[in-house]
Amino acid sequence: MTLWSGRFRAGLNSLASILNNSLPVDKRLYVEDIRGSQAWARALAAAGVLTPNEADTLVNGLHSVLDEIESGTFQFTENDEDIHTAVERRLTEFVGPVGGKLHTGRSRNDQVATDFRLWLLEASERLDQAVQSLQKALLHRAETDIDVILPGYTHFQQAQPILFSHWWLSHLWPLQRDRERLQQLTKRAAVLPLGSGALAGTTFPIDRAALAGDLGFAAPSPNSLDAVSDRDFAAEFLFWAALTGVHLSRLSEALILYSTVEYGFVTMDDAYSTGSSLMPQKKNPDMLELTRGKSGVLNGLLTGLLTTLKGLPSAYDKDLQEDKTAVFEAADIMDVLLPVMEGVISTLKVNPERCRSAIHPAILATDLADYLVARGIPFRSAHEAVGKAVRLAEEKGESLATLPLKDYQTIHPAFAEDLYTALSLEASVNRRSVYGGTALEAVEEQIEVAKKAIG
């Protein structure tokens, strides 16, 4: 028998029942549902709706239900539409008719919204720690690879030399913003819907502020209509997951390229690589490719929920049953991606010689332009002169470092013998010592800032 069967003469169509049943998805909310129900029982007793003995009976009975579910002996039935129905049904089997009093003044509308928020708050804390662990792996790489110089790219063409440490840290800071977003959304999620009823609030004198404190929420919701329909926290969580997935995908894309034979900047550890069923020599970066692929899945989950939400009027609509599927899947994906990426970063091998040998001599062209600027030449003129030098070196099969001084001076008279001192990778890197730059001094400072930021 369903919780609402009194109004109906006939049961639900069998296929409609399958469509309506959310138990396969929301049964993972059992801990939160029982916590919320125990707090509700205490709140009903505080309001004089239940006697203290009745509340104790309900709280203890709910403990018994929890023990059964966690031990694997709980038996779900075909009439259990959702986790709320299943818990209340089994509670009543344990404690008798008093079990029917638990739902007094409460709706599944405010109940599921409360359960979902409780679950998301716990998941967010866990995922924040996972992002932090990945950041620490990146930070360790930055400290370990502090002396390695590699080509920096724009438009995926060699641009200027940078420290590999600077590159690692460039992937740490997006994750810091991801953590900040996650922490901000949990503040907005920490609002208690329970006590809102189906849409209009409960008629019983529940102290909702005390109830919020009992469950660890910051405050009760100020509007009952909004409380049962608000899924901003779910959409924000999916946005967080999607954007974090984008950041992981960008890191993965670069490492996939850097691990190829053509680049050889890094070598993937066997524990995070796979082979080919046909080609014995293959060592594939499948974990990085899967991370890149999961980013598309996460984007789809966000788009799906936003599309569901956009057409809903006020209060609760059954469409909202789909919210948990998306959020649970996103959380499950991130629970795997984050530690896998941490493992990839921690175990890969950097190949300093390959990084350095891949640097094209023309990468120091900007330094040569800056050399002319230091001699009083306007930057635009310096830029043009060095561009001509690059072209001439290419035509003569030379590099900027081997192009003769007389050739330089045919381009611009400001070139002098000391121009070759500008054509040093270490000097190029270390000239960029501004805060946030790639110079060793600046990167060491950035590492200290990062340590304080990530905690």
**CATH code for the domain of 366:** 1.10.40.30
pLDDT by 10s per residue, the chain, length 455: 566 566 677 777 778 777 877 899 999 999 999 999 999 999 999 999 999 999 999 999 999 999 999 999 999 998 899 999 999 999 999 999 999 999 999 999 999 999 999 999 999 999 999 999 999 999 999 999 999 999 999 999 999 999 999 999 999 999 999 999 999 999 999 999 999 999 999 999 999 999 999 999 999 999 999 999 999 999 999 999 999 999 999 999 999 999 999 999 999 999 999 999 999 999 999 999 999 999 999 999 999 999 999 999 988 998 999 999 999 999 999 999 999 999 999 999 999 999 999 999 999 999 999 999 999 999 999 999 999 999 999 999 999 999 999 999 999 999 999 999 999 999 999 999 999 999 999 999 999 999 999 99
Cβ 283 vs Cβ 378: under 8 Å:
no
CATH number of the domain that 78 lies in?
A: 1.10.275.10
Measured between alpha carbons, how far is 111 from 116 in angstroms, rounded to an integer?
9
Q: Is 381 labeled as catalytic in the residue annotation?
A: no
CATH number of the domain that 235 lies in?
A: 1.20.200.10
The residue from 63, 140, 276, 314 that is catalytic is: 276
In the chain, % helix, strand, coil (3-state, to 5) comes to: 65, 5, 25
The residue from 14, 71, 155, 277 that is catalytic is: 155
Q: Is 247 labeled as catalytic in the residue annotation?
A: no
Measured between alpha carbons, how far is 116 from 131 in angstroms, rounded to an integer?
22
Number of domains composing the chain: 3
The answer on 383 and 335 residing in a single domain is no
Show the domain range for 268: 109-357
What's the pTM? 0.94
Using alpha carbons only, give the angle 386, 387, 393 rounded to the nearest 5 degrees: 85
The answer on 160 and 93 residing in a single domain is no
